[in-house]
């Protein structure tokens, strides 16, 4: 129902709640920056711009720039290891007032209960948490997820006011092969007039056209300007990703011009809380845009207005009458740093500090780590008969990217068993099914971690989130897996029978039940430990978490074995 008081306040018949005076307004609608402006707010909505309205309270901004709050257009909150209230505690003081979350991490573990958990846990925060319903639960048929979402399961979420559309359609081969279950999901949201997000790394030509023609309108997987330009030319919105592992924003800047700026958004996708604290969230991405020479108006349109338009969030993304008073004040365009943040006209953060404790409403969840009883022998990799002297397929992890390579290497063999070879940076890699206790264990090798002793493991392995462990010796690998089961999920580094360091993540095996400070401090301990251990990969745990994602080229591993993503087919460890 329309708030009639807004009409009276805009006409001066009622006082406004707040006047923000003497602002340097970043006007994204007119495309200009104006000084000495007064913005008037009533009931959390902007009702006037320089209209001479009276207010019960006036704040003199003394020339500070005033812009719409920043928007993360695609994020998996679970990948921050934090529950939604703790996530808000970090990102809101940095100027983020809205995020569009795809909870396919927790949905792949707990299905409907996971989605419902995220909706309840994000209620009443000083952060608008919108949702896209996960389209790929499970992501593929190559691994074992904890749940399945069909179109019929998704229908009830269309009635949720914070559910915007269908989340990233990762199974682009399924679209191209006209998989009916997947097409039913897309049709459900298209018929409801809702946006459908994409995920199509490297897709081009006729296949890209077919993917877009199916109704998919955005992509966050572009890694080159050429890829972005083709997808733009075929009508897609491009989300420039700046995460903890995948850092694509700088590479895409040549494709962002004054003519194309209206089709670009910003997103973090997956970002660890220590990076959020140390480097930033959307404020960090915005600084990269500004430092890269993007016009400030275009940069803020990318950060605020464009997401609102793509997702159909009315009254958001600009400063004008009828728009929500989600605002950020800052000193300089030269280096954006949020000084004051308002959510619905209420000051919620100042100088990097949240002023109001977010409400905590966390419904209970069942335990989600259920692995078969293991022995150390489960982690042996014997050489098959007839394969002596043959080569194995090795996943090549690449720093700063979730795209992997595939190399063929002669394994080091001892007593008929393939073992790690730290001199060549070849370590063993296992994915252990954790949802049903099936006993499935995918076995392989990885290079690019730089691990020289012990084992690292976690229950975060996109997107089915089975347990994943990489290690030098079977004893350490066994200990890491056993300890993760004991923790009910988390991160661990083990050497022999000793657990050197861990981070419990008992909420679906993905998120901590502790506060953000504890999680950040523990992750920093992991960083320091990895530096002392001499690991060459700058983010080994984040890198490891993507090695089981069989929708990102080239070679990946699941609980059922290796997958050649480009051919979209399982492959054996030993090459022919």
Q: How many secondary structure helices (H) and strands (E) does the chain include?
A: 17, 30
User: What does DSSP assign to residue 138?
Assistant: S
pLDDT at 87 over 90: yes
pLDDT at 139 over 80: no
Structure tokens at 410: 């002669």
Which residue is listed with tokens 């897309």?
186
Superfamily for domain range 68-313: Metal-dependent hydrolases (3.20.20.140)
Assess contact for 490 and 571: CB atoms under 8 A.
no
Residue 399: the pLDDT is 78
Assess contact for 443 and 411: CB atoms under 8 A.
no
Cα separation, 514 vs 505, whole angstroms: 9
Cα separation, 502 vs 435, whole angstroms: 21
245 CB contacts (<8 Å, ≥6 apart)?
Answer: 270, 400, 401, 402, 539, 542, 543, 546
pLDDT mean over 405-412:
96
What's the distance, CA 208 to chain centroid? 23
| Dihedral class, residue 128 (left if φ above 0, else alpha if ψ from -120 to 50, else beta) | beta
Cα separation, 506 vs 522, whole angstroms: 15
Assess contact for 468 and 491: CB atoms under 8 A.
no
- Backbone dihedral angles phi then psi of residue 333, each to the nearest 5 degrees: -75, -20
CATH 2.30.40.10 is held by the domain 4-63: yes
Helix axes 84-91, 112-121, angle to 10 degrees: 50
Structure tokens at 228: 């972005």
Structure tokens at 35: 């000084």
- Summarised one tens digit per residue, pLDDT across range 489-504 is 999 999 999 999 999 9
Assess contact for 338 and 332: CB atoms under 8 A.
no
Q: Where are the domains of the chain?
A: 4-63, 68-313, 376-571
Q: What ranges in 316-362 are assigned the alpha helix state H?
A: none
Residue 184: the pLDDT is 96
SS3 205: helix
Within 13 Å of residue 440, how many CA atoms lie on the same side as its CB? 20
E strands present in 237-337: 237-241, 264-267, 327-330
Q: What is the pTM of this model?
A: 0.91
Assess contact for 264 and 222: CB atoms under 8 A.
no
SS3 572: coil
pLDDT mean over 368-390:
91
Assess contact for 502 and 514: CB atoms under 8 A.
no
Assess contact for 289 and 302: CB atoms under 8 A.
yes
pLDDT at 388 over 80: yes
Cα separation, 460 vs 458, whole angstroms: 5
pLDDT at 246 over 90: no
Cβ burial of 497 (10 Å; 0-12, 13-18, 19+) is exposed
Alpha-carbon torsion 46, 50, 52, 55, what sign? positive
- DSSP bridge pairs for 2: none
- Summarised one tens digit per residue, pLDDT across range 446-479 is 999 999 999 999 999 988 999 999 999 999 999 9
Within 13 Å of residue 175, how many CA atoms lie on the same side as its CB? 28
pLDDT at 381 over 80: yes
Assess contact for 191 and 184: CB atoms under 8 A.
no
Residue 500: the pLDDT is 98
Cα separation, 104 vs 111, whole angstroms: 9
Residue 244: the pLDDT is 83
Task: For residue 367, count other CB atoms closer than 10 A to its CB.
Answer: 10
pLDDT mean over 31-40:
97
Which residue is listed with tokens 């992997």?
404
Assess contact for 565 and 556: CB atoms under 8 A.
yes
Which residue is listed with tokens 């008073």?
325
Residue 443: the pLDDT is 98
What's the distance, CA 291 to chain centroid? 23
250 CB contacts (<8 Å, ≥6 apart)?
Answer: 288, 292
Cα-Cα-Cα-Cα dihedral of 193, 197, 217, 207, to 10°? -130
pLDDT mean over 208-220:
98
Assess contact for 21 and 55: CB atoms under 8 A.
no
- Summarised one tens digit per residue, pLDDT across range 153-204 is 999 999 999 999 999 998 888 999 999 999 999 999 999 999 999 999 999 9
Assess contact for 329 and 64: CB atoms under 8 A.
yes
pLDDT at 237 over 80: yes
- DSSP bridge pairs for 324: 45
User: Rg of the chain over CA atoms, in angstroms?
Assistant: 24
From 37-51, 357-371, 497-511, the region with the lowest mean pLDDT: 357-371
Mean pLDDT of the chain: 95
pLDDT mean over 212-232:
97
- Summarised one tens digit per residue, pLDDT across range 514-555 is 999 999 999 999 999 999 999 988 889 989 999 998 888 899
Task: For residue 351, count other CB atoms closer than 10 A to its CB.
Answer: 10
pLDDT at 293 over 80: yes
- Summarised one tens digit per residue, pLDDT across range 88-134 is 999 999 999 999 999 999 999 999 999 999 999 999 999 999 999 99
Assess contact for 165 and 197: CB atoms under 8 A.
yes
Q: How far is CA 507 from CA 121, 246, 405, in A?
A: 12, 25, 32
Residue 356: the pLDDT is 85
């Amino acid at each position: 129902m329309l708030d009639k008081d807004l009409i009276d306040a805009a006409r001066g018949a009622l006082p406004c709640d707040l006047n923000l005076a003497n602002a340097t307004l970043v006007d994204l609608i007119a495309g200009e920056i104006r000084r000495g402006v007064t913005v008037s707010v009533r009931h959390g909505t902007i009702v006037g711009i320089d209209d001479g309205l009276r207010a019960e309270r006036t704040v003199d901004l003394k020339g500070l720039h005033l812009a719409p709050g920043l928007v993360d257009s695609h994020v998996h909150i679970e990948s921050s290891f934090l529950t939604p209230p703790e996530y808000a505690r970090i990102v809101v003081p940095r100027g983020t007032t809205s995020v569009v979350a795809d909870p396919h991490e927790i949905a792949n573990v707990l299905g409907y209960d996971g989605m419902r958990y995220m909706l309840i846990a994000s209620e009443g925060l000083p952060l608008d948490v919108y949702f896209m319903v996960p389209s790929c639960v499970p992501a593929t048929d190559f691994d074992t997820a904890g749940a399945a979402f069909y179109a019929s399961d998704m229908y009830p979420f269309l009635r949720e006011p914070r559910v915007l559309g269908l989340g990233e359609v990762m199974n682009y081969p399924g679209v191209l092969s006209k998989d009916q279950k997947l097409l039913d999901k897309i049709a459900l949201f298209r018929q409801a007039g809702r946006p459908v997000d994409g995920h199509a790394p490297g897709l081009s030509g006729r296949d890209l056209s077919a993917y877009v023609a199916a109704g998919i309108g955005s992509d966050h997987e572009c890694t080159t300007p050429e890829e972005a330009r083709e997808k733009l030319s075929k009508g897609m919105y491009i989300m420039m990703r700046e995460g903890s592992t995948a850092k694509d924003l700088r590479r895409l800047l040549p494709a962002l011009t004054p003519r194309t700026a209206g089709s670009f958004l910003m997103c973090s996708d997956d970002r660890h809380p220590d990076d959020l604290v140390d480097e930033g969230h959307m404020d960090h991405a915005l600084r990269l845009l500004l430092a890269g020479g993007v016009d400030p108006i275009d940069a803020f349109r990318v950060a605020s207005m464009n997401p609102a338009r793509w997702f159909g969030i009315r009254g958001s993304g600009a400063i004008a009458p009828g728009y929500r008073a989600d605002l950020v004040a800052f000193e300089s365009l030269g280096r954006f740093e949020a000084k004051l943040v308002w959510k619905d006209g209420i000051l919620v953060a100042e100088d990097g500090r949240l002023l109001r404790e977010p409400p905590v409403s966390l419904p209970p969840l069942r335990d989600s780590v259920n692995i078969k009883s293991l022995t150390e022998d489960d982690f042996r990799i014997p050489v098959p008969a007839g394969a002596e002297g043959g080569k194995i397929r090795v996943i090549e992890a690449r720093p700063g990217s979730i795209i992997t390579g595939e190399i063929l290497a002669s394994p080091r063999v001892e007593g008929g068993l393939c073992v790690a070879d730290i001199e060549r940076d070849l370590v063993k890699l296992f994915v252990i099914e954790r949802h049903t206790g099936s006993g499935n264990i995918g076995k392989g090798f990885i290079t690019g971690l730089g691990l020289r002793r012990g084992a690292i493991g976690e229950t975060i392995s996109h997107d089915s989130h089975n347990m994943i462990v990489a290690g030098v010796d079977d004893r350490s690998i066994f200990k890491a897996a056993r300890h993760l089961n004991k923790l009910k999920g988390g991160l661990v580094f083990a050497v022999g029978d000793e657990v050197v360091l861990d981070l419990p993540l008992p909420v679906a095996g993905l998120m901590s039940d502790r506060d953000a400070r504890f999680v950040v401090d523990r992750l920093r301990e992991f960083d320091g430990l990895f530096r002392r251990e001499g690991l060459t990969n700058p983010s080994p745990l984040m890198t490891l978490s993507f090695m089981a994602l069989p929708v990102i080229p080239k070679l990946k591993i699941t609980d059922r074995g290796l997958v050649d993503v480009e051919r979209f087919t399982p492959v054996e460890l030993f090459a022919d």
